[in-house]
Amino acid sequence: MKSDLMQILNEKGQCSKKPDLTLDQIKELYRRMVLTRTWNDKALSLQRQGRMGTLGSVKGQEASNVGMAFPLQKDDWFVPAFREFGALFVRGVSLKDQFRYWNGDERGGQMPAGSNITPTQVIVAGQLPHAAGIAFAKKIKKEPGMVLCALGDGATSQGDFHESMNMASLFNLPVVFVVQNNGWAISMPVHKQSASPTLAERAASYNMHGARVDGNDVFAVYEIIKKYADRARKEQKPALIELVTYRLSDHTTADDASRYRDPKEVAMWQKRDPIDRLRKYLQESEKWSDADEKAMVEQISQEVEDAVTEFESVTPMQPQEMFANMYHTLPWNLVEQQKEVMELYNGGEVK
């Protein structure tokens, strides 16, 4: 890894300084990361059994996912892309709902009321202007808080990235853009994606602060996000943070990464696993016992299994629900079409 990378917790589980977190908070971070991976593994296995739609895995990015959401406060907004379930769980999204969403049930995509989370954004970089706009509204309304916007390394190539960065800086918007640089955008390695050697240094050309940290080190992620979130809240200043991490799985369940990347690279990154190193830290510095680990893993497995049961037993959506939220008040064409669907599929099954 590049030497200019801020790191607190190294791959051996050793800290370069004491993290600014209580033991309970550290345990909570750990629990969240394991929960994220457990949910993720479960979703992948359901997908293989045909019980889940196409899905992108966050394996390897749990420290980035969890660490970015942890410093957020009630008034803050979280504006995700699509590879941040771990962060969504921290912000109160239920395991069940994420299962539903990825299995093609729109209802699962609804974020909890008042959670200040925007829905999953599939258009790469499409969420950046939204984040800027939400922050702009905060500023205009003189509301407290800031906006955290997540994106991938691939998203930095899009025009919307540039336009949003420029705008955030020009208007001093309280928004922090966090790039999970997981090395890949489907089959494109980041060095073929971006002409700038690091993504964080893009910040300079917008006269914005930038930072680059080890994204598999949850302490570093937490610290940097906290720092810039605080700054955004207090000084109304945007920033660009690069979290250097790795996508350990295929891009999605529809992808086969062995076609384009070297297994040696994956193996190397497996050694930098964010969960392993935090477990080592807990074991070595905080007396985390095998029994503690076992109890936690069992509790999490149960939580995930319960969510599966719950998600698989929800009432199916009715066909006419397709129309329900197209407009506040349905225009005549949708009223007619909804009626047709009710006639066609009234209680019955589509062929």
Partner 1 sequence: MARKTMVQAINEAISLKMQDDSTVVVMGEDVGVDGGVFRATDGLFEAFGAERVIDMPLAESSIMGSAIGMAINGLKPLVEIQFMGFLYQGFDQLLNNAARWRHRTLGQVGLPMVVRMPYGAGVRAVEHHSESTEAIIAHVPGLKVIAPSNPADAKGLLISAIEDPDPVVFLEPKRLYRIKKEEVPEDLYRIPIGKANVVNDGTDITLVAWGGMVPVCLDAAKHAENQGISTEVLDLRTVSPFDLEAIIKSVEKTGRLVIVHEAPRSFGVGAEIAALVGERCLLHLLAPIKRVTSYDIVPPLLKLENYNYPNAERVVRAIQQTMEF
Ligand X SMILES: Cc1ncc(C[n+]2csc(CCOP(=O)(O)OP(=O)(O)O)c2C)c(N)n1
Binding residues for ligand X (CB under 6 A) = 83, 122-124, 152-155, 182, 184-186, 247, 251
Kindly write down the DSSP assignment for every residue of 173-214, as one continuous string.
Answer: --EEEEEEE-SEETTEEHHHH-SSSSSGGGGGGGT-EEEEEE
Cα(first)–Cα(last) distance of the chain, in Å? 54
Q: How far is the CB of 181 from ligand X (least distance, A)?
A: 7
Q: At 273, is the secondary structure helix, strand, or coil?
A: coil
Among a second copy, ligand X, partner 1, none, the one that 205 touches (CB under a kind-dependent 5 to 8 A) is a second copy
**264-293 binders of partner 1 (CB under 8 A):** none
Q: How far is the CB of 213 from ligand X (least distance, A)?
A: 17
**129-188 binders of a second copy (CB under 8 A):** 157-163, 165-166, 169-170
In the residue annotation, 247 being an active-site residue is answered as yes
**53-72 binders of partner 1 (CB under 8 A):** 53-54
In the residue annotation, 130 being an active-site residue is answered as no
Q: Which residue has the CB atom at the shortest distance from ligand X?
A: 152
User: 40 vs 182, which CB is nearer to ligand X?
Assistant: 182
Q: How many CB atoms lie within 10 A of CB 162?
A: 16
Please choose, out of 20-28, 36-44, 154-162, 299-307, the segment that lies near partner 1 by the rule CB under 8 A: 154-162
Can you tell me the distance from the alpha carbon of 224 to that of 215, in angstroms, rounded to the nearest whole number?
10
- 128 belongs to the binding site for partner 1 (CB under 8 A): yes
Kindly write down the DSSP assignment for every residue of 4-57, as one continuous string.
Answer: T-B-SB-TTS-BSS--SS-HHHHHHHHHHHHHHHHHHHHHHHHHHTTSS-----
**Among 37, 247, 272, 277, the one annotated catalytic:** 247
Decide: 10 and 1 in contact? Cβ < 8 Å. no
In the residue annotation, 51 being an active-site residue is answered as no
Decide: 42 and 304 in contact? Cβ < 8 Å. yes
Contacts with a second copy: how many residues (CB under 8 A)? 24
- 185 belongs to the binding site for Mg ion (CB under 5 A): yes
Catalytically active residues are: 247, 251, 260
